[in-house]
Structure 1
C-alpha cells in the first residue's frame, strides 16, 4: 500500500523541523488528501488539517502561513509543543485552542501545505490530484449544495495558488485520487 511506502520513506529521512519529520500533503480540495493523511495517521503520524486553520473560505492566503509558522512550526522546531486556534466553520470565527505535541512524524494536510516556505522543513511533499468534477461532487456531498459558490471561488483561488507556488512540479510524490502514482 502506498501509505506504508510513504511512512517508511518519511521515517527514514533526517528530521528537518527540530526532531520532527514533516510531511506535507497538498493538492486541490476534494482530491483525497484527508484520506491519505488518515492512512498515515493509522501508521503513527500526527495529522494537522489546514481546514482547522483557514480563516474560512478565503483563508488559503492571508494569515494562514504566518499563524501556522508562529503557533506550530516554530515551537516544534525548538522541541516544544505547538498550539493553534481552530477555526469554527459554522460560526465563522476562531474558537478553541488545540495542542500539537512534538511528534516523530507530523503530517500537514491541506491546500497550501506544500507552499515553497515548507521546502526547508518537509522531508516529503506529496501532491494528490483528481478531476475537477469529482472534487466538486465530493465537496458538495460534504458541505451541501448551498456551498457551490464558495467551492467555485475556492477552486479558482487554489488554482492561482498552485500555479504561483508550482506545487505539483515541486512535489516529491504525485498521486491520483485513489492513491496511484501519476507522472
Structure 2
C-alpha cells in the first residue's frame, strides 16, 4: 500500500506507459466516500495533461448514480453505457443524473445532459462503485483508495458543508454491500492511503 503522493507518481508512470500501447486506456479509481478519489483524479488529469499535451476525459460516478440509493445501479450504468461500448470500439453515450430533479438529464444545458466519448485520450473514472467485477475486465488500470473512517466523515462534512450529512449512513450501508459483493479492493492493482 502506498501513500497518496507515491501512488500518484506510480499511477502517472503506469498510465504514460499504457498510452504508448493503447490510445484510450481506462483507469478506474474507487474507494469509500471522501477517501480522496476526486482529488486523485484531478491530480492525475493535471499531470497527464502536462505530459501528453491533451487532457484525459474524467467521468465522475456522481454524474451516473440515480440518486442517493443508486450506488450499484450507477456501477451497472457505467459498464453498460460507457465501458462496454468503448471496449467494442464504439462511442459511449450516457446522460448525467440531475440530483435536484431526481431524474436523468439537465434541461438547463444544451443536449439535456447527454454526454459522449469516442476515445482518443485516457479515460479516468472516479467514484464509489467504479471498480466492480464487470468493470475490472474492461479497465487497464484499477486503483482503490483507503482512508480512516473518521477522516472520511470529517472530509464529507467539510466538503459539503453539512448539506448531505443525513445521507452518510445510507451511502455507507450501500458501500458495505457493494464492496462485500464486488471485492473491489482485491481487484485493484494499486492501493493507496490518503
5+ residue gaps in structure 1?
178-183
User: 1:65-97: CA deviations, max 9, x gaps?
Assistant: 343233222332233432211112222221111
Moved over 4 A (4+): none
Alignment partner of 1:84: what SS? strand
Q: Contact between 2:78 and 2:130, CA under 8 Å: does it hold in 1? A: no
Alpha-carbon offset, residue 146 of structure 1: 4.2
The answer as to 2:6 corresponding to 1:6 is no
| TM-score between both structures, scaled by the size of structure 2 | 0.80
More helix by share: 2
The answer as to 2:139 corresponding to 1:119 is no
User: 1:104-150: CA deviations, max 9, x gaps?
Assistant: 31111110111111222212111111111211121122334242221
How many residues in Structure 1 have an aligned counterpart in Structure 2?
173
| TM-score between both structures, scaled by the size of structure 1 | 0.85
Alignment partner of 2:137: what SS? coil
Q: Contact between 1:46 and 1:103, CA under 8 Å: does it hold in 2? A: no
Q: Contact between 1:125 and 1:172, CA under 8 Å: does it hold in 2? A: yes
Q: What pairs with 1:168-183 in structure 2 (closer than 5 Å)?
A: 168-177=185-194
In structure 1, which of residues 33, 37, 46 is the aligned counterpart of residue 37 of structure 2?
A: 33
Provide the C-alpha distance between the structure 1 equivalents of 2:120 and 2:45, rounded to a whole number of angstroms: 11
5+ residue gaps in structure 2?
50-55, 106-112
